[in-house]
Amino acid sequence: MNRDQLITQVKEEYAGIAASEYQQHFHQTTTELTPDAYYEKLLNAVITEIENGKFDNCRDGSEIINRVAADKSMLSEWNC
């Protein structure tokens, strides 16, 4: 899959996650970031890694999201 397609899929997935009603707990655990801000920051870090080829071996955006959820240290720009 090409990188543009991966970026599109990841954007759609994170938008759905951020809008999910299950993110209500997010406001209870942090006062600094809203779910939208958190996922936008995460999305930007993931897009950078996609553009740099880190996820070229992934079959789709869901696989990338699952990998990142399991280990955010793979994102060079992540510091949350």
Q: Which amino acid is at 44?
A: N
Q: Are 6 and 58 in contact (CB under 8 A)?
A: yes
Number of domains in the chain: 1
Do the domain assignments include residue 24? Answer: yes
Q: What's residue 35's pLDDT?
A: 75
Distance in angstroms (rounded) separating the CA atoms of residues 61 and 9: 5
Q: What's residue 25's pLDDT?
A: 57
pTM: 0.84
Give the residues of the chain that fall short of pLDDT 70.
Answer: 21-32, 80
Do the domain assignments include residue 27? Answer: yes
Q: What's residue 26's pLDDT?
A: 56
Do the domain assignments include residue 80? Answer: no
| Residue-number span of the structural domain to which 62 is assigned | 3-74
